[in-house]
Amino acid sequence: MNWRPLLIGSIMIYLLTACSSQRLPVIQDFEVKQYLGTWHEIARMENRFEKGLSRVTAEYRQEDDHIKVINRGYSEAEQRWKEAVGKARFEGASDEGRLEVSFFGPFYGDYQILAASRYEDGQYRTALVSGNTFDYLWLLSRQPTLTEEERRLFTDKIRALGVNPDTLVWLDGSATQ
């Protein structure tokens, strides 16, 4: 088998993807230690990787040279838990909320933390995350539900980005207002 066309095709796809990345404004003074741990997915733009999943969590663990990512969700249709394990690394400065995540070998996708709130102890409480487009958008929380104030704050931020919050899948059982 001639592997060169496959290799060249893969490189072209990577370069096109890398060149099309948007440099969205992300949080500054990011502290990865305060971000590690388990997050609950509150809302998402539906995507093929998570289609039909509920009770979705993302866990971030510091490894030697990267952050281990464990995404888990329940498929009601298949009556089983699904899990994907990947790794994240900083795209630039480690104090900027701009990372890359890979679940598929050498291919990385953007993980941009657009907004976040914190607990009094400094640990992150909620986060609004996107890929390089708003086709990938997640609202994460340390708790499985948001307060009404948090919901209002984040739906306002989502609207300000030009995204209709009603187009998101809300996993905590609530609808936007």
Residue 13 pLDDT greater than 70, yes or no: no
Residue 86 pLDDT greater than 80, yes or no: yes
Long-range contacts of 148-157 (CB under 8 A, 24+ apart): 150/117, 150/126, 151/176, 151/177, 152/177, 153/117, 154/115, 154/126, 154/128, 157/114, 157/115, 157/128
Band of residue 87 on the pLDDT scale cut at 50, 70, 90? very high
Predicted TM-score (pTM) of the model is: 0.84
Please tell me the CATH superfamily of domain 23-170, with its number. Answer: Calycin beta-barrel core domain (2.40.128.20)
CA distance 110 to 126: 19
Please answer whether residues 48 and 24 qualify as being in contact, where contact means their C-beta atoms are separated by less than 8 angstroms: no
Confidence at residue 39, expressed as pLDDT on a 0 to 100 scale: 98
pLDDT per residue as tens digits for the range 137-173: 999 999 999 999 999 999 999 999 999 999 999 997 6
- For the chain, the structural domain boundaries read 23-170
Percent of the chain with pLDDT over 70: 84
